[in-house]
Amino acid sequence: MPELPEVETVRRGLEPAMLGARIQKVELRRADIRFPFPPRFAQRLTGRRIVALGRRAKYLLFGLDSGETLIAHLGMSGSFRIEAAKSVTPGAFHHERSKDPKHDHVVLDLDNGNVIIYNDPRRFGFMDLVRSEALESHPRLRALGDEPLAREFDAARLAALLGGSRAPLKAALLDQKRIAGLGNIYVCEALFRAGLNPSRPAGVLANARGGPTRAAVALAKAIREVLEEAIEAGGSTLRDHRQADGGLGYFQHAFSVYDREGAACLRSRCAGTIARVPHSGRSTFYCPVCQK
Ligand code: ZN
């Protein structure tokens, strides 16, 4: 499943191809993805100019000049592909599953010559269209917590959000109602970088007055760093998730602890071995020696 850095990579890949362009034609090849498309979906998109391309947590937000916003979520295997009209190569699809045209569900023809294709073999993604001013009250968006890459997100904010919780740090960080968009991979990575054991209670982040502790300072810094580094690296490409520019996206981000069970800890002078603790279908990876 794509995590926040991957979705931000997709947004950055789509922006130059879509921003300012008008949607000339919309082709829906199914009536639904995970859910049915909203009423008159194609008609409401056709002729509209794309005036903004934003992101909230793992939702892509395409602002339209009609005052509506197209919300798109990639689910497990969704991807956008950009094809300039002239360079479409029929028959060159065989090597990449996510380019298999039978999973191309939505095709947008733009007036700048680009064709934007949404492909989703497993169809866990979805699209919706809402009034832009009502975006924050959309059922999928209204309960979302803080954006971890927002400027306001710092140690004090982290302490305020999680410091009162008795839940383990790992679980508290995954709670989308507090911090939105952090998934298993980057929570594991951030806790490693901050030197914090995933099972420590989240209360370790706040002092008696509710202010940030040294642990909160380290963790807030680590969260921002791991996300920004992954975005910079083009987003990690796991399983069948692909980069928005239509490239293979074979780049695999180098993780410090994620998926490294039994490997040597990468922290200098640490003799630890990365451990994996499975819980509710997900695994926590950490170094039992240097994460305290
Ligand atoms: Zn270690």
Q: What is the DSSP string of 25-38?
A: EEEESSSBSSSBPP
Query: 285 C-alpha vs ligand 1 centroid, how far in Å?
Result: 11
Q: What's the pLDDT band for 12 if we cut at 50, 70, 90? A: confident
Which residues have a catalytic role annotated?
2-3, 58, 282
Q: What is the pLDDT of residue 98?
A: 59
Return the higher-pLDDT residue of 280 and 108: 108
Sketch out the chain's domains with CATH numbers: 4-137 (3.20.190.10), 155-286 (1.10.8.50)
Q: What is the pLDDT of residue 81?
A: 86
Q: What is the pLDDT of residue 53?
A: 96
pLDDT at 1 over 90: no
Q: What is the pLDDT of residue 205?
A: 98
Query: 255 C-alpha vs ligand 1 centroid, how far in Å?
Result: 14
Q: What is the pLDDT of residue 252?
A: 55
Query: 229 C-alpha vs ligand 1 centroid, how far in Å?
Result: 20
Pairing of strands 68-73, 59-64: antiparallel
As a whole number of angstroms, the distance between CA 172 and CA 182 comes to 11
Q: Compute the mean pLDDT over every residue in the chain, rounded to the nearest whole number.
A: 88
Ligand 1 ion: residues within 5 Å (CB) = 265, 267, 270, 272, 287, 289-290
Which two three-digit tokens encode residue 281? Answer: 């279908």
Per the DSSP assignment, residues forming a β-bridge with 278 are 283
Average pLDDT over every residue of 274-284: 89
pLDDT at 188 over 50: yes
pLDDT tens digits, 116-138:
999 998 999 999 999 999 999 99
Query: 271 C-alpha vs ligand 1 centroid, how far in Å?
Result: 6
Average pLDDT over every residue of 263-275: 97
Q: What is the pLDDT of residue 85?
A: 56
Query: 160 C-alpha vs ligand 1 centroid, how far in Å?
Result: 28
Query: 161 C-alpha vs ligand 1 centroid, how far in Å?
Result: 27
**In percent, how much of the chain has pLDDT > 90?**
69
Q: What is the pLDDT of residue 201?
A: 97
φ/ψ of residue 27, rounded to 5? -120, 120
* pTM, 2 dp: 0.85
Q: What is the pLDDT of residue 280?
A: 72
pLDDT tens digits, 193-249:
999 999 999 999 999 999 999 999 999 999 999 999 888 877 544 434 455 544 433
Query: 264 C-alpha vs ligand 1 centroid, how far in Å?
Result: 8
pLDDT tens digits, 28-62:
998 899 999 999 999 999 999 999 999 999 999 99
Lowest mean per-residue pLDDT among 86-90, 120-124, 162-166, 191-195 = 86-90
Instruction: Name which of 277, 147, 163, 280 is nearest 223 in CA terms.
Output: 147
First and final C-alpha spacing in the chain: 29
Q: What is the pLDDT of residue 24?
A: 97
Q: What is the pLDDT of residue 223?
A: 97
Instruction: Name which of 146, 143, 106 is nearest 126 in CA terms.
Output: 106
Average pLDDT over every residue of 273-290: 92
Q: What is the pLDDT of residue 155?
A: 98
Return the higher-pLDDT residue of 89 and 156: 156
Q: What is the pLDDT of residue 97?
A: 39
